[in-house]
Amino acid sequence: MRVGSLAMTCAGLVALTGPALAQDAATTCAKMQAEDRIGAVSVAQCQCWYSVAEQVVDDDIRTLIFDAWYTGRDNMALMEQLRPRARVRRQLNAMAQALDKYCQ
């Protein structure tokens, strides 16, 4: 990884340590619903997603996911900079499988 990419990723994660990380599933899902960002997904299903993310992915990935859910910010560019990339891909795939299994 280039030093500039690492610095940008670290800076992005540090910038996310505000109120978004202090929110729980109920607060985050209610905010997403109030802002009409969860569509036809129920709040209960959203809370299931939150629980799966808490259990399946590492802290750095979880930080970006929860921030995106709470703020509506697109964190994919930051997520793509996390290393090792295979770890990120593997965990996101595991999360998708767990969502299909537990959050229907």
For all residues of the chain together, what is the average pLDDT? 82
33 Cβ neighbours under 8 A, 6+ residues apart: 43, 46
Per-residue pLDDT tens digits for 10-48: 334 334 444 444 589 999 999 999 998 888 888 899 999
Return the pLDDT at 15: 43
